[in-house]
């Protein structure tokens, strides 16, 4: 690491470190709620309390917290619903669950559902403080890591953009005729610089998702127009591999309320993967459709397919289907994060040796609060 980068990083570390952590405590036992609040405030934390899960979720919609401490067993809206809301909408927030001895199975279920840790009542306050400190230490380390990644990637992005710009000018003849022997290396520099810029942009998006979440700017979108435009934009790449494109767009599909730039990112990621994995002379399909509740589109390929045991993990951060194929393992993670924010779903169907098909469902009538779950099971019916 250069001295300038190190000094800049140290300055940013000093700026991040003094943050006063905010904690939300949710418990229907008022005495317990107040005891926890008094204890945490003595430790220097800012604490807000809620008497039930519904009140807690409403507070979370309006305010940001580093940590949520929630009782699992509450009437009506319980701790599991609070945990589910935090996991869907607040990736930067950790959850500690508290419950009685008779609910150990529920505590383990909460851990599987994304809780950071659990405590059983009655608990020792020293152990409680230690658990809170460990959770907040984890968040602080993650913030420093995100800050460092953001700094490095931003510092790399500007010179890369200049390299791509000058390569394009050179290849266009803006500085004079380029001899034939120089064209391949210039094209190679340009291609690799664009690939590295894409990688940096992916890291920046993931960093934003982890740190604060993406903010959607929704408007009405004619999905078929976007699909057709993006299909046209990759035509040259498909011609290089002699890939045949098959379009099956429903001409009656209505407009969908979404963030067009983010949905464009989703389609681009799926198309890029399809081209990457489709062999020479293969085919790619793009279809769209709708029903009373959902508008959907699919991108399919005739590649090698995905092993059944990998079909769920491919949406995780840094997961890659084939280590021999170039990639960061971030594309499908970003794609799913964007779809989740739209209250939609993304599914994969694949048979080894026969290709893969990714289908995205977007709600026709989304709930008012972005990022809410879809329905009881959260999954739309498969398209006909």
Provide the pLDDT for residue 327. 60
> Which of 206-220, 318-332, 351-365 is modeled with the greatest confidence?
351-365
* Residue 197 pLDDT class (50, 70, 90 cuts): confident
Length in residues, the chain: 384
Across the chain, what does the average pLDDT equal?
83
Provide the pLDDT for residue 198. 80
**65 and 82 in contact (C-beta within 8 Å)?**
no
* Residue 175 pLDDT class (50, 70, 90 cuts): confident
From the list 95, 93, 111, the residue with the least C-alpha distance to 103 is 111
**Region(s) of the chain under CATH 3.40.50.2300:** 3-141
**pLDDT tens digits along 141-166:** 877 777 777 777 777 777 888 898 98
Superfamily designation of domain 3-141:
Response regulator (3.40.50.2300)
Burial class (CB in 10 A: 0-12, 13-18, 19+), 274: buried
Q: What is the pTM of this model?
A: 0.59
- CATH architecture of the domain formed by 219-363: 2-Layer Sandwich (3.30)
β-pairing, 244-248 with 345-351?
unpaired
Provide Rg for the chain, Cα atoms.
24
**Region(s) of the chain under CATH 3.30.565.10:** 219-363
**248 and 209 in contact (C-beta within 8 Å)?**
no
Exposure string over 301-331, b if 16+ CB within 10 A, otherwise e: bbbbbbeeeebeebbeeebbbeeeeebeebb
Query: Which tops the pLDDT comparison, 263 or 368?
Result: 263
DSSP classification of residue 13: H
**345 and 378 in contact (C-beta within 8 Å)?**
yes
Residue 317 in this model has a pLDDT that exceeds 80: no
Assigned token pair, 281: 């002379």
Spatial separation of the C-alpha atoms in residues 351 and 322, rounded to whole Å:
15
**pLDDT tens digits along 216-267:** 889 999 999 999 999 998 888 899 899 999 999 999 999 999 999 999 999 9
**pLDDT tens digits along 268-311:** 999 999 998 999 999 999 999 999 999 999 999 999 998 887 87
Helix (H, G, I), strand (E, B), or coil: what is residue 32? helix
User: End-to-end distance of the chain based on CA atoms, in angstroms?
Assistant: 55
* Residue 372 pLDDT class (50, 70, 90 cuts): very low
Spatial separation of the C-alpha atoms in residues 219 and 212, rounded to whole Å:
22
Provide the pLDDT for residue 338. 92
From the list 226, 261, 227, the residue with the least C-alpha distance to 246 is 227
* Residue 34 pLDDT class (50, 70, 90 cuts): very high
């Amino acid at each position: 690491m250069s001295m300038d980068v190190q000094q800049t990083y140290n300055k940013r570390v000093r700026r991040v470190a003094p943050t006063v952590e905010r904690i939300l405590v949710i418990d229907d036992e008022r005495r317990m709620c107040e005891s926890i609040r008094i204890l945490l405030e003595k430790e220097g934390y800012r604490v807000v309390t809620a008497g039930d899960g519904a009140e807690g979720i409403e507070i979370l919609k309006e305010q940001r917290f580093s940590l949520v401490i929630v009782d699992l067993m509450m009437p009506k809206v319980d701790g599991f619903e609070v945990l589910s809301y935090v996991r869907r909408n607040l990736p930067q927030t950790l959850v500690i669950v508290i419950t009685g001895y008779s609910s150990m199975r529920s505590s383990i279920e909460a851990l599987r559902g994304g809780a950071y840790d659990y405590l059983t009542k009655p608990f020792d306050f020293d152990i409680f403080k230690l658990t809170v400190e460990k959770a907040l230490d984890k968040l602080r380390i993650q913030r420093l890591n995100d800050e460092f990644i953001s700094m490095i990637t931003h510092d790399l992005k500007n010179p890369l953009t200049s390299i791509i710009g000058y390569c394009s000018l050179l290849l266009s003849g803006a500085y004079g005729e380029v001899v034939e022997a120089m064209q391949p290396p210039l094209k190679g520099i340009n291609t690799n610089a664009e690939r590295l810029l894409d990688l940096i942009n992916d890291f920046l998006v993931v960093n934003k998702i982890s740190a604060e979440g993406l903010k959607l700017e929704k408007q009405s979108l004619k999905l078929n127009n976007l699909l057709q435009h993006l299909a046209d934009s990759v035509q040259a790449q498909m011609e290089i591999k002699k890939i045949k494109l098959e379009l099956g767009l429903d001409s009656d599909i209505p407009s969908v309320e979404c963030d067009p730039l983010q949905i464009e990112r989703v389609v681009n990621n799926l198309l890029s993967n399809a081209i990457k994995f489709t062999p020479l002379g293969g085919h790619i399909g793009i279809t769209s459709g709708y029903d009373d509740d959902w508008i959907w589109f699919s991108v399919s390929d005739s590649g090698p397919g995905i092993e059944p045991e990998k079909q769920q993990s491919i949406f995780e951060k840094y997961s890659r289907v084939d280590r021999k194929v170039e990639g960061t393992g971030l594309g499908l993670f970003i794609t799913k994060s964007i779809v989740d924010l739209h209250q939609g779903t993304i599914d994969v169907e694949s048979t080894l040796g026969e290709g893969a098909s990714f289908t995205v469902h977007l709600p026709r009538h989304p709930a008012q609060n972005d990022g809410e779950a879809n329905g009881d099971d959260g999954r739309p019916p498969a398209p006909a």
